Amino acid sequence: MQARAMPRTNRILHRISVCSLALCSNVALPEICTGVIDSVQVEHNGKVALFSKEIYGDDAARVLCSSNADFGAISGAACDNMLAILLSAEARGKKITVQYKSVNCVDVQPWYEAQTPHALRIL
């Protein structure tokens, strides 16, 4: 039995699929950092800082956002929501997850050099 050639459209779709898989394999997956909150700090300039040795591996703060202005990709309004999540989790003693797009949890820089998170959640 002779093999039948793929129709042109199927060949194109096949090539797109193979190329997409190749590209996707080089994309960094989000890093999800989980732990308890040691403390939350709101500074005079509206910056919200998270202290968590379990998440970051040290006692230094990570500035997540600013309620007064855009900070990285996070708007002031989104920062207010993040602050509410942090305070709720801290008050209830719940763990949180902080999701970063392309950095390991222990590699997030302290203070103002910190990368902004992609998402935040109470567990």
pLDDT along the chain (123 residues), means of 10: 55 46 51 94 94 94 92 91 96 94 85 83 90
Please name the residue ranges forming H helices in 58-116: 76-92
Q: Are 43 and 59 in contact (CB under 8 A)?
A: no
Residue 37 in tokens: 């909150």
pLDDT of residue 44: 93
Residue 22 in tokens: 């190749």
Q: What gap in Å lies between CA 118 and CA 57, rounded to an integer?
A: 19
Structurally, what CATH architecture does the domain formed by 31-122 represent? Answer: Beta Barrel (2.40)
pLDDT of residue 2: 55
pLDDT of residue 19: 40
pLDDT of residue 53: 95
Using left for φ > 0, alpha for ψ between -120 and 50, and beta otherwise, residue 111 falls in left
